[in-house]
Amino acid sequence: MAEESISRTWRVSREIAERIRALAVATEVYDSSIVNYLLTRALDDLDAGRMVIRRRPVAYVIDDRPA
């Protein structure tokens, strides 16, 4: 059975969108497949504790400064 998918609109920087597109072209797969793969890996890393999202109180933004 095929995996169900839904369409969503997310706001990302132009740089991220260009990197995703370049990776899709280089690997000869659809952009959505790359996004799904990368997000799955990131979410798995979060669940396993290999990645932590740190935040700081400024209406809470992602703190991507080096730890």
Read off the pLDDT of residues 11-37 as tens digits, 9 standing for 90 and up.
999 999 999 999 999 999 999 999 999
- pLDDT for 39: 97
pLDDT in tens, 39-64: 999 999 999 999 999 887 767 778 88
Residue 31 neighbours by CB distance under 10 Å: 13
Indicate the domain borders of the chain. Answer: 14-62
- pLDDT for 2: 61
Q: Which residue has the tokens 């400064």?
A: 65
- pLDDT for 4: 85
Per-residue pLDDT for 1 more than 70?
no
Q: What is this structure's pTM?
A: 0.74
Rounded distance, CA 38 to CA 47, Å? Answer: 14
The helix or strand, by DSSP H or E, that contains position 56, with its residue range, turns out to be strand 55-56
Tokens of 39: 């997000």
